[in-house]
Structure 1
Amino acid sequence: MNKKKVGREAKSAVAFTFASVFSRGLAVVSMPIFTRIMSTAEIGVVSLYNSWFSMISVVATLALSSGGYSLAMKEFADERDKYESSVLSLTSLMALLLAGIYFAAPDFWSSFTGLPPHLMGLMLVGFLVSPAWDFWTLRQRYEYKYRLASLLTVIEAVAATALSVAVVLKLGSMGSDSIAEGRLFGNYSVVYGFCTVAWLVTMARGRTFFDARYWRYSLSLSLPLIGYSIASQVLGVSDRVLIANMVGQSEAGIYGTLYSASTISTFVWTAINSSFIPYLYQHIEEEGHQGIRRTSLQLLMGFGAVSVVISWLGPEIIRVLATEEYMIALDIMPPIAAGVFLTSVSNMYSNVLVYHHRTKYIMFSAVAAAVVNIVLNLTLIPVFGYKVAAWVTLVGYVALVLPQYLWAQRAAAEEGRKTPVYNNRLIFVVSLVVICLIMLGLVFYQLATIRYLACALLVIVGIVAAAKIYRGGKNVEKAGRGTR
């Protein structure tokens, strides 16, 4: 493999990971301000908005920003500008259709979602422009053009966070009862501003409104992924919606805040997976898959270590991010963190299914997991309270991973591949060990000294392992130069 290309891939992965973690991290850093000024009910409104946006945006974007987009970059390598503007036109039409449906009966939809009309209007603007930013950043990742994309991601995050904090502080000092709305408008006015610029640039550069080839190719991959994405969103956010409706906004606010704290590690995995997909798709045809096997295990173990440390430091994280009233739900962090870790395993196998154009299998597994999640929540929350939703989340993610693993193996076999892309046995072992370690947090929460020592030990082991991997890469590079 070309050493220059390897260096570019590594730099791109590091830059995008840093930018993503930094931008998501700002949301965590600013959380203590929001939780100390806003009531739990106001936090619940913000959580409800974000939950509905996540679920509905899947339909608005037609799941075109999922794994199939990277395949399209490969399929239409010489027509990327035209492809990008054409599919952006498709998502824009879908957003306008959703707007028409809303304005046909605004009172009904506002009542159904529990959101006032002005927040529904904000959401509709997001459906129109946000796909442009997703498409642009995905293309930058695929082409390893990391400098501008990383810089803009950081600037957007800083500006959005600063404005939302300023608005909340101002409204809080005025005793306003619209703090939740102010926070949302402050944040998303910046985010959607960046998205609007990306929309205009994409359309001006591609100048292609409709092309049957692009639409047909993209929809053939994305339509099954719509079902997958909807089911995944249901799996990820339906618990908060159900808690808000069945228990109350305050409980939804507490659960949503603890859920956000438990899923801090997803910032890392989202960035890692976005950088791993181009590498996977560009090297999956190589015999033996040794590079992919080694890299996937290293990424999985690294993310596992991050998940364990975050789970074990749950009490400290909550005390920093929120107030004492949130500590009552501390015990939901480990099961949620364990379930979130399994998303990394799920993504690895779904990436393979997307490559082999078996997206319907991804949809089937996600729908099954979502059904399990909703049925269990509806059944158990009235009996055991809202905390049981955390354990239901873990069960749901297990139900997501197992069929995806089986179907990924089947898809590879149907393509005539004798060697599995991943080392499945080691992935199972790593997953089991990580989940068990995460669950130890339930015991360690009462043993602060042991927790600190265990976290320190895990961090040291991680640093040593990372240094060993880095030295191994340097040795390979030196060997490559020596054979020239």
Structure 2
Amino acid sequence: MISTLKEKLKGMSVEVKSATVYTLSSVFSRGLAIISMPIFTRIMSSADIGVVNLYTSWYSMISIVSTLALTSGGYSLAMKEFDGERDAYESSVLTLTTIMALVIGGGLVLLSPWASPAIGLSPRLIILMTFGLLVMPAWDFWNLRQRFEYKYKLSFVLSVGSAVLATVASVGAVLLVSSQPESNVNLSEARLAANYLVVYGLSAVMWILLMIRGKRFYDRRFWKFSLNLSLPLIGYSIASQVLNVSDRVMISSMVGDAETGVYGVLYSASSIALFLWTAINASFIPYLFRNIDTEGHQGIRKASTLLLAVFALVSILISWLGPEIIKVLATDEYLAAITLMPPIAAGVFLTSISNLYSNILVYYKKTKYIMFAAIAAAVVNVALNLVAIPLFGYGAAAYTTLASYIILAVSQRAWATKACRERGRMEPIYEDGKLGALSVACIAATMAGIILYKTNVLRYVTCAVLLVLVAFLSVKAKSSRES
């Protein structure tokens, strides 16, 4: 089997080979998180898991500001713009993120007596977060460049190796602390510290490497180019993170950490397919940017539709197999809220639609349009949560998030169409009509999971059919990309 895989990889183009390896890396890393989840849900309380979700939620939002959104789409464009000065560019923009991390992280640490109760994290977790804000951009910059240059071997080894080590460390830490009831160490803190010290440690090494290799800490051209492109993306990225994680933050504040833990586990289970789309999109962006100037490029049109179709089927499949996924990953405490999986899975799919159109806006340097759409969706999400959670319980957050993702996808398409027309381009880059129909069909099919949960035989038969369709369309999408 391994020999056959090696032979297939040798026969692929470098673009397809890189996309395949990065997808496998993401699948493996996410797979470890899924495999370890049953251990955590059976040892840690839902409140402890709620704290873990709260930490990742706050980190996601704060890191957008500290990184100045430099990893949110414009980095690939900078790799193309400064082709012969990539090392210098990396060290220069890393200086920017370092300054921001020291200001924001240092402020949080100094104000931790007040910040800690406000955000629901202990001072120790605030210090851990600050270290992450400082060094994580180095890993992101390095990895994005590897993807852009289709260099995948070392990236694969480091990504998979660090994921394995971090998972083993976090599981070991939780098992050790739970076996010592007299210990005053919190399970959530033990898990987070063990996991992220591995991840942040690797990032710290990358930080040193990029600084030594680039040897340029300030360059007006790099800073001006990056800030002009990324500053509007900060608004977009913050709004996107608010859209992605505000539900957990608001549930923690308005209901409790235990409910946040239940919702967070269901959200993670529903989002299993998202890691696949993240890998696909990261590999699709270089292909898109290299060919987007060819109006009516059939490779882009066919590949984007097929890739979206594959992701739609995977999202539907995860929704329909929700009870089985939760039985494996968690306990009956989480299974009681299984009907939240379909709307969450539908919302997760819509992020792929938004990403496709935001890629166009990044290429045309219309990042302010991305910001407008994201802010509108985030404001709607927060407003709906403020009303719906007190009235209908924390489960309402799944439906308010779906509604907000619909607004985001529709808005991104409208702004991308406007950007194309401003450039004198009248023909759509994607097959817009097919993507719209696919979105409606995916939402309807995903929500049908609520009904199918009551009829196991029909559910299993339809899932088998979906698996066949996924395999067929995956082969077709691969052929389209290679051509």
Answer yes or no: same fold by TM over 0.5: yes
Given the alignment, which residue of 140, 150, 161 partners 1:155?
Answer: 161
Deviations 1:382-409 (A, max 9, x none): 1111101100000010111111111100
Note if contact 1:159-1:190 (Cα within 8 Å) is conserved in structure 2.
yes
Residue in 2 that maps onto 1:309 = 317
Indicate yes or no: 2:72 matched with 1:42: no
Change (3 A) 1:468 1:44: closer
Distance 1:74 1:460 in 2: 39
Q: 2:32 aligned with 1:26, yes or no?
A: yes
Instruction: Give the SS at the match of 1:209.
Output: coil
* Partner of residue 256, structure 1: 264
Letter in 2 for 1:93: I
CA contact (8 A) 1:342 1:431 kept: yes
Contact 1:25–1:267 under 8 Å retained in 2: no
Alpha-carbon distance between aligned partners in 2 of 1:280 and 1:204, rounded to the nearest angstrom: 32
Matched with 1:418 is 426
**Cα distance in 2, alignment partners of residues 379 and 473 from structure 1:** 45
Aligned to 1:218: 226
Using the alignment, how far apart are the partners of 2:103 and 2:245 within structure 1?
Answer: 24
State the distance in 2 between where 1:287 and 1:391 align: 38
Q: Which residue pairs with 1:241 in the alignment?
A: 249
Counterpart residue identity of residue 412, structure 2: Q
Identity across aligned pairs (percent)? 57
Query: How many residues of Structure 1 are paired with residues of Structure 2 in the alignment?
Result: 472
Structure 1 unaligned runs (5+)?
477-484
Pick one of 121, 124, 129 that aligns with 2:130.
Answer: 124
> Which runs of structure 2 are paired with 1:103-118 in the superposition (5 Å)?
103-118=109-124
1:438 to 425, 436, 446: 446
1:472 CA drift (Å): 6.9
Aligned partner of 1:123: which letter?
M
Of residues 317-326 and 464-473 in structure 1, the stretch that sits farther from structure 2 once superposed is: 464-473
> Is the 8 Å Cα contact of residues 58 and 226 (structure 1) preserved in structure 2?
yes
Residue 288 of structure 1: SS of its match in structure 2? Answer: coil
Q: Distance in 2 between matches of 1:28 and 1:366?
A: 29
Find the partner of 1:374 among 365, 370, 382. 382
Deviation at 1:287, TM superposition (A): 3.1
Deviation (angstroms), 1:418: 2.2
> 1:335, 1:442 → 2: CA distance?
9
SS of 2:84 mapped into structure 1: coil
Q: Give the 3 Å change call, closer, same or farther, for CA 108–469 of structure 1 in structure 2.
A: closer
Counterparts of 2:224 and 2:101 in 1: how far apart (Å)? 19
Following TM superposition, by how much is the alpha carbon of 1:470 offset from its aligned partner in structure 2, in angstroms? 5.1
Cα distance in 2 between the residues matched to 1:289 and 1:419: 10
User: 1:154 Cα deviation (Å)?
Assistant: 0.5
Correspondence 1:80-229 to 2 at 5 A:
80-175=86-181, 176=183, 178-229=186-237
Q: What's the TM-score once normalised by structure 1's chain length?
A: 0.95
CA contact (8 A) 1:342 1:398 kept: yes
Deviation at 1:465, TM superposition (A): 3.2
Deviations 1:266-307 (A, max 9, x none): 110111111111110011012312110011001100111110
Structural RMSD (CA)? 1.4
Q: Which runs of 5+ in 2 are unaligned?
A: 1-9
Residue identity matched to 1:163? A
Residue identity matched to 2:46: T
What whole-Å deviation, never above 9, does each CA across 1:131-165 have from its counterpart, x for those lacking one?
A: 00000000000000011111111101001001100
CA distance in 2, matches of 1:107, 1:404: 40
* Shift in Å, 1:370: 0.5
- Offset of residue 102 of structure 1: 1.8
What's the offset of the Cα at 1:116?
0.7
